[in-house]
Amino acid sequence: MEITRICQWLSLLICVLLLLQTEGVPVGITFVENAVAKGAVCLDGSPPAYHFNKGSGAGINNWIVHFEGGGWCNNVTTCLSRRDTRLGSSKKMDTSLSFSGFFSNSKKFNPDFYDWNRIKVRYCDGSSFTGDVEAVDPKTNLHFRGARVFAVVVEDLLAKGMKNAQNAIISGCSAGGLASILNCDRFKSLLPATTKVKCLADAGFFINVKDVSGAQRIEEFYSQVVQTHGSAKNLPTSCTSRLRPGLCFFPQNVVSQISTPIFFVNAAYDSWQIKNILAPGAADPHGQWRECKLDIKNCSPNQLSVMQGFRTDFLRAFSVVGNGASKGHFIDGCYAHCQTGIQETWLRNDSPVVAKTVRN
């Protein structure tokens, strides 16, 4: 009986390993060591890093540069809490990441991009790659250098073949999705004029909305992020010339002026935004939203109505994107956050579709 159980577990383990092998491939880490001399470093002063899965065949001169997400830090205290984690130090990062979904090297699971050069840039600055403060307080050893990290990573990839790119996509998820919006035109300016460049923001369209207590917390938070990291000079001038810099961290105030073609993937019921912008803990001192945020099946009719109101606010804010030829979008009704890097939502039989079309 014991031998039979062992055989069953081994069979299950083999199936899991085969599934991982077909849907995800481990990719090792690359540290940009020469970035340190340029001051392009993580919060703790360690070098930035990325994972690079090389293209092949017809995709050898096509590139996807994806920026990782992971929230933001808005003051010295919150940045210190990140400094000694993977979100603030390359010393704490996993040395291998699994590439699946949009990044898979399998033609079956990623028919459009499987043979492209696919890069995941790790996130360790806390400012969506926009910060640049020269001074470093020796008491904290905090480095606010996200914009420099962005530039030095692109420079390193250009030297590794991206200078010959025929097509290049900058993408990102969550805070990385915001980075792909704020740095969309900048990315294009760093590549050869002959390269066809497009931008993709996955779950990066964060909206300026009041929380359930009526407070405008996210607006204040973003203003603090911009102030702490010295981000204002790296935000689109088409926005900062009109509005306070903190407001230019919101895509709704930026996207209409982006000239590079850009595509948005977002859930109208963005789970991160509902949990952290609409109903953050500070706005819910009695924990009335706790169970609802964990599983929407636990939400009361009133909470569902509030979430429906968030969807309305999201679509209103998103309307500034318009219907121009250089801007496209896939906005679904899922309670989700980040969908392109997950096989289940990127390309499966039950993946979200538009007009019964899995891929557009």
pLDDT at 6 over 50: no
State pTM to two decimals. Answer: 0.90
pLDDT at 349 over 60: no
pLDDT at 157 over 60: yes
Catalytic residue check, 143 = no
Do 298 and 292 contact (CB within 8 A), yes or no?
yes
Please state, in angstroms and as integers, the Cα–Cα distance from residue 96 to each residue in 33, 120, 149, following that order: 18, 11, 20
**How far is residue 307's CA from residue 220's CA, in Å, rounded to a whole number?**
22
Q: Does domain 23-271+318-358 bear CATH number 3.40.50?
A: yes
Catalytic residue check, 174 = yes
Catalytic choice (174, 202, 229, 231)? 174
Task: Select from 163, 197, 165, 190 the least CA-distant residue to 61.
Answer: 165
Catalytic choice (51, 66, 143, 337)? 337
**How far is residue 338's CA from residue 76's CA, in Å, rounded to a whole number?**
28
Sign of CA dihedral 183, 188, 190, 196: positive
State pLDDT tens for residues 120-142.
Answer: 999 999 999 999 999 999 999 99
Do 152 and 48 contact (CB within 8 A), yes or no?
yes
Do 186 and 168 contact (CB within 8 A), yes or no?
no
Catalytic residue check, 337 = yes
**How far is residue 190's CA from residue 205's CA, in Å, rounded to a whole number?**
24
Where are the chain's structural domains?
23-271+318-358
State pLDDT tens for residues 43-68.
Answer: 999 999 999 999 999 999 999 999 99
3-class state of residue 163 by DSSP: helix
Please state, in angstroms and as integers, the Cα–Cα distance from residue 184 to each residue in 10, 19, 251, following that order: 47, 35, 12
**How far is residue 8's CA from residue 336's CA, in Å, rounded to a whole number?**
34
